[in-house]
Amino acid sequence: MGKWPGFGKDTDSVPDPIWRTLVADRNHNGQVPPSWYQRACLRCLEIADVFNNGDLNIGEILQGHSEMLRKYLTRVRNVTWNRRFFTATVQDPEWPLFGLCPPKAREGDFVCILYGCSVPVVMRESDSGRHMTLIGEAYVHGKMDGEALEDFEEGKIWAQNGESKDEEFAII
């Protein structure tokens, strides 16, 4: 998953950006997630690795494991339903941004912050380059609570060509 080395590499915890992305960095009440979510995520990945050749059958785990795993996986299922996990290299190629996007998103789409929108959105440039199509909303770990605009203002976020982009365009 992303750049995480995974199992067999003495990894005894799941990196924050991964487990927090899977729950959109919130618990079921929209509050800061409890620290035990990280351990529950690791346990689920261990179960998938050992018993299912890497496949995670959420329905199966919801039926037969601890209450904590069930609570964690219920949150993961609610957040990731009809979403795709993605990575985006923006700043440090050694540690990409992790996020969740609409199923129709594809490589080359843009994750944008639209003034007035409460969440980042995925946009696709038209062949002519004159219009953008809204694909849907996204979750980008570490860029959801105003951090993206702060990073933009500080020059930490840039476009593919290395320049800051603050532009107007037509949405179709």
**How confident is the model over 9-46, as pLDDT tens digits?**
545 778 888 899 999 999 999 999 999 999 999 888 88
Q: End of a domain among 80, 105, 134?
A: 80
92: in domain? yes
Could you tell me where the DSSP H helices lie in the chain?
16-22, 36-51, 58-64, 67-80, 147-153
What integer pLDDT is reported at residue 26 of this predicted model?
Answer: 96
Same domain, 160 and 119: yes
SS3 85: strand
Same domain, 101 and 71: no
Same domain, 104 and 142: yes
Nearest partner of 109 among 117, 91, 121, judged by Cα? 121
Same domain, 68 and 90: no
Q: Which domain holds residue 48?
A: 16-80
Question: What CA–CA distance (Å, rounded) separates 121 from 128?
Answer: 21
6: in domain? no
Least confident of 52-66, 125-139, 143-157: 52-66
Provide DSSP, 22-42: HTTT--TTSSPPPTHHHHHHH
Same domain, 101 and 130: yes
Same domain, 129 and 70: no
> Does the global pTM surpass 0.85?
no
37: in domain? yes
Q: What spatial distance separates the first Cα and last Cα of the chain, rounded to whole Å?
A: 33
Q: End of a domain among 80, 98, 114?
A: 80
2: in domain? no
Q: Which amino acid is at 88?
A: A
4: in domain? no
Q: Do 135 and 104 form a contact (C-beta atoms < 8 A)?
A: yes
Question: What CA–CA distance (Å, rounded) separates 45 from 15?
Answer: 12
Question: Phi then psi for 22, rounded to 5 degrees?
Answer: -65, -20
